[in-house]
Structure 1
Amino acid sequence: MTIYALIIEPLASNIRNSKDIKGINLPNRKEKCALFQHADDCSTIITEISDYDHLVKEFKRFGEVSGSKINESKTEILEIGRKKTIINQQLKDLIKENVKVLGIKFGENKIDKNWNPIVEAIAKTCKEWENRNIDIYSKVQIINTYILSKAWFVAKVIFPTQEIKRRINRALYKFIWNGPESKIKLTENITLKEIYYEIIGQRKNSITVEEKNKEIEFTNIWTKVAGIKNDIHREFLYKIIHRAVLTGEKQIDRGIRGIDPQCKYCNRQFENV
């Protein structure tokens, strides 16, 4: 492929230098932009219909020497801006609603065309891994290095919508916690300050967070965190999930009395803040 890239350079040079192929002018760039190449994949930009004939002529000249031919089954044209009247039927047949350039689809519904296959691939990959006995730390590594890598390249060119991000988050949440995403967020029914007071028991006869939010599987979350073998990772996640709630001796140091030293949620783990 490297050798072919060197051999095809004369074709690229002829297209760039041709006065008959106008291309487009970009800001802060002296030379016109008429051609993008990656290995044997060529994408050209022309502004006049007549440029197409000159473009085909250059490819045929190159083919006479190298033996290469245009793959007509993979040749596509995307109209940009104001559409012009096209008489050439061969040219009409090449016009498509979407074209792919370096793995990215451009044209109509480009967001859905690019992101729907990625979201489906992420959900499929998560499902393939979800039944394996993997701790949370390893799952995060899998997500960052393997699952989300499917999206980074496209995200640099076409930003996902909020709905697409929600679909991806649902798949990742289910993969991490082995269950569906919570229907109700904590902050929708109760403030973080109220959660804190309820956890440490400062309110008499207060309803617990679990009782207020029965749709959320708290037990499943604490069980998963408790299963983390690495002490540092486990403690770090506990601090995040518990919002650094004080228990045991730390509560006594701050004058909080009559509190069960055990964690109110998991009933056996101690917080070391």
Structure 2
Amino acid sequence: MLRNSDKVLGYRIPGLAKQLLISLFADDATVFLTVEDRYHDLRDILDKWCRAAGAKCNISKTEIIPIGTREHRLRVVSTRKIHPDDPPLDVGVRIAKDGDPVRSLGAWIGNDVDNTTPWEPIVDKIQTNLRRWAMGHPTLDGKKLIIQMIVGGMTQYLTKVQGMPKGIETALIGIVRKFLWGDARTPPIALEYLYGMKEDGGID
């Protein structure tokens, strides 16, 4: 319905047969509006589709990331209008300012976003879980499995979709080292050897 509309155009990208207009995953939808597109027209189309399908669009969960020049982004935030001819956006619609990350399918996106921000709660959760596991006094092999499950499991997806900042990588190495050896100032085995195969003195 959106793609057949002449009111909402989306982006024409060389080499793509269809315009970049909407991306769907489960019950999440991301819509891409150009400077000529009006949010009001988009709402009209979505409201008609919802009535026909018997569905409900959760407008209160709508988040908008302005793209383009800094002047345009500031104008959208201050006026709460994507297009000058639009009425102001509903109060429940959040507009992400520069520096405010927005979560999209597990990744954090936005303008001038600090890449370490989405990692901070993950690092905290890893530390909490490892402290809990440490209370059981696991063996070295047990610690290896716990690290793979907790550290690997909690970081793999975000690293894949967003990359891991060097500072976060350094922090996680320190957390892993402390979990393995406690407060020992000089670990019995250096991490680079510990990462190796068992026949080489490691625990992999």
| TM-score normalised by length of structure 1 | 0.58
**1:20 alignment counterpart:** 7
1:78 aligns with 2:78: no
- After the TM superposition, which residues 1-273 of structure 1 pair with which residues of structure 2 at under 5 Å, given as runs? 14-48=1-35, 50-82=37-69, 83=72, 85=75, 86=81, 88-90=87-89, 94-97=94-97, 98-107=101-110, 108-179=112-183, 182=185, 216-218=186-188, 233=198, 236-237=200-201
Quick one: which amino acid aligns to residue 88 of structure 2?
Q
1:32 deviates by 0.9
CA contact (8 A) 1:16 1:33 kept: no
| TM-score normalised by length of structure 2 | 0.75
Unaligned runs of 5+ in 1: 1-13, 183-215, 223-231, 240-273
- Distance in 1 between residues matched to 2:12 and 2:54, nearest whole Å: 32
Root-mean-square deviation (CA, aligned residues, Å) is 2.8
**1:228 alignment counterpart:** none
Q: CA distance change for structure 1 residues 25 and 119 in 2, over 3 Å: closer, same or farther?
A: farther
- How many residues align structurally? 181
Quick one: which amino acid aligns to residue 173 of structure 1?
R
Q: Secondary structure at the match of 2:156?
A: helix
1:27 deviates by 4.9
Query: Deviations for 1:207-256, whole angstroms, at most 9, x for unmatched residues?
Result: xxxxxxxxx254xx59xxxxxxxxx94x64279xxxxxxxxxxxxxxxxx
CA contact (8 A) 1:123 1:168 kept: no
Q: CA distance change for structure 1 residues 177 and 56 in 2, over 3 Å: closer, same or farther?
A: same
Specify which structure has the higher proportion of helix. Answer: 1
- Distance in 2 between residues matched to 1:27 and 1:145, nearest whole Å: 43
Quick one: which amino acid aligns to residue 95 of structure 2?
I
CA contact (8 A) 2:116 2:165 kept: no
Query: Deviations for 1:15-46, whole angstroms, at most 9, x for unmatched residues?
Result: 23323222223453221111111111111111
Decide which structure has the larger Cα Rg and report it.
1
Identical residues among aligned pairs (%): 24
- Distance in 2 between residues matched to 1:37 and 1:29, nearest whole Å: 17
- Distance in 2 between residues matched to 1:171 and 1:28, nearest whole Å: 46
Unaligned runs of 5+ in 2: 76-80, 191-196
CA contact (8 A) 1:23 1:47 kept: yes
Moved more, 152-161 or 81-90: 81-90
CA contact (8 A) 2:46 2:57 kept: yes
- Distance in 1 between residues matched to 2:202 and 2:29, nearest whole Å: 53
CA contact (8 A) 1:125 1:147 kept: no
- Distance in 2 between residues matched to 1:110 and 1:69, nearest whole Å: 34
Query: Deviations for 1:176-215, whole angstroms, at most 9, x for unmatched residues?
Result: 22236x4xxxxxxxxxxxxxxxxxxxxxxxxxxxxxxxxx
